[in-house]
Amino acid sequence: MKLEGRSFIGYTRGKGSDAIPGAGRNPRTGEFLEPSCIAATPEEVESACAMAASAFPVFSSLPGRERALFLRRIASNIESLADEIDARMTMETGLPAGRAQGERGRTCAQLRMFADVIDESSWVDARIDTAQPDRKPLPKPDLRSMWRPLGPVAVFCAGNFPLAFSVAGGDTASALAAGNPVIVNAHIAHPGVAELVGGAVAGAARDCGMPEGVFSLVYGNGFATGQALVRHPSIRAVGFTGSQRGGRALMEIAASRPVPIPVYAEMSSVNPVIILPGAAGERGDAIAEALHGAINLGAGQFCTAPGLILAPGDSALIAALTRRCVETPAAVMLNEGIARAYAAGVERLRTHPEVQTLAEGAEDTSIFAPARAALFATTSAALLADPVLQAEVFGPCALIVRYDALDELTAILTTLAGQLTVTVQAAEADLGTVQGLMEQLAQLAGRVIVNGVPTGVEVCDGMVHGGPFPATSDGRTTSVGPRSILRFCREVCYQNVPDALLPAVLRQEN
């Protein structure tokens, strides 16, 4: 597929206006990548929204099997572009080829998972209460309810997942599965990957006879395009993965509309890891090895990377983790902006009067957007006194909090903001302590882990990838797994509606 750097507005390509500075740049070398990426005009954004609104009544009423065929065709189209996508992703992000292949596989698996969900159709949770006209003292009406799609959804691509949380990622797949047209706001850090996948989605829509406007992809120069999408009256929900600042800005715009809409934003998490004394004594070196791998996986650019480690103050594990950090080679960040933000976060910890620098990894001045692994330490008293120490540093960095008594853990957990994950490393002797903490842990995070690491989000029925604010904007939901489809739906009840007028799954023959 020949890259043009232009938006997909339904089945046509946008003409655009201005080239977007810095879009498509190799973070390892600093090389700008062709072609230039062109921002959509306000008129093109308006056209995409209008077409999505027009497509919604048709698309939402299609049988689940037809939407399932569409999702499977998207997956097949992405696989047919595997070599092009993998090559472009490694250039635009600095991620290794293995990561590109793995993320592509996950993206296609998600699409097929949602296809299976809507093929089977029980997800709509159809409920049928038949009428009892002779009931006394009042007759009971015929009542039937199910989940129905909301309307056009705006999806914002994630910077750290060019495939699995981007153009055809989980938000798009779940919104389309539910019956909602999708307008994707591409991430300028990987515009070529966005265009390749956008072409795969648009081609699938055309081949499957979907109404024009069921999918659009727009490039934006700055924040104006995304803000215009969220403000547009045709947009009925938003999916976002990114910074807390960006997520909150979209939430405020959505809430200030004449008709407010939900924003499902994944934003910020330090994913605390609690190491209990028994575990530290029995297998401290193994825990240090696992944590080092999780902290540095993908240059620490995973939303579930462990950024806060609560460890006994006298534990040898701290020294073991420090040694590994010193030996860590320099990493390539996803783009220059993330590298600058990471450097600022590390400097904030390095210069904090209550923080000790334990170790920093190797430097590599040949990398355009580099990151050195960093490990810091502080006390529980300092963490409790200064909320700044709880802030996420997105990258291969962790802050160890030394504690001397178990009641300090309870105090820390009480003050922490909502998290995607919380992990406990425990030995047999620690299980009583864990039992006493379990309710507090469940209130803190969307996923509670025992004797593992938080990185790795399995796509399956049992997964919850969400958590209380600011991990997400709505801690009642998950952005991974079949249940994520419910974010883009609402329940509708039909009372005394003639059978012929009901949705198929609510009719008497079903």
Tokens 């460890």, residue? 311
Residue 241 to residues 162, 218, 236, 368, Cα–Cα distance (Å): 11, 17, 17, 25
Q: Which of 369, 331, 341 is CA-nearest to residue 92?
A: 369
Sign of the Cα pseudo-torsion (428, 429, 435, 440, in order): negative
Annotated active-site residue 303? The verdict is yes
In the block, which residue shows the tokens 């015929």? 142
Q: What gap in Å lies between CA 89 and CA 193, rounded to an integer?
A: 6
Amino acid residing at 199: G
- Nearest alpha carbon to residue 185 among 152, 137, 136: 152
Which one from 37, 49, 303, 325 is the annotated catalytic residue? 303
Strand-pairing partners, residue 376, are 357, 399
DSSP string, 121-143: -GGG--EEE--BTT-SSSPBPPE
From the candidates 44, 212, 266, 392, which is the catalytic residue? 266
Nearest to 175 by CA among 73, 40, 71, 246: 71
Task: Enumerate the β-bridge partners of residue 132.
Answer: 140
Q: Is the separation of the CB atoms in 194 and 339 below 8 Å?
A: no
Cis peptide before 498 (omega within 30 of 0): no
Q: Active-site residue numbers?
A: 266, 303
